[in-house]
Amino acid sequence: MRFLADMGVDQRVVDWLREQGHEVAHLRDDGLHRMADEDVFAKAIAEDRIVLTFDLDFGEIAALSRGRKASVIQHRTSSTGWPRRSPAHRALADGAVVTVEESRIRIRPLPIGRTTTPP
């Protein structure tokens, strides 16, 4: 998978994802640490990447994207680690907002309101 890590995502997460064979760009790598969230989302669309973030604004941006496709993984836990496995791979490929919480992973297909097809 191809990811775009937002500024709040720890470099250790980026390194781990790369070790797992994923292609990961971090905003910090290109000096884009002040890029507006809407521009980060547009960059993810242009580069066919999934946004990794702790910023809840990306869910709203994705919901209002009017058919432009970029998936988002929002991390909402007290730790800065990243889950080792996720049931969301298929949903991410189709376009989704995935929210990782302490006790669950929520998957909202894009556009918001669309239902997922069972695997």
CATH number of 2-109: 3.40.50
pTM attached to this predicted model: 0.78
Beta-strand relationship, 23-26 and 2-5:
parallel
Chain Cα centroid distance, residue 7: 12
**Which tens digits make up the pLDDT trace of 103-114?**
888 888 887 655
How far is CA 51 from each of CA 15, 84, 117, 118, rounded to the nearest angstrom? 16, 17, 22, 24
* pLDDT tens figures, 50-85: 999 988 787 778 777 666 677 888 887 765 555 555
Both tokens of 88, joined, read 């969301």
Structural domain spans, the chain: 2-109
At 59 the three-state DSSP class reads helix
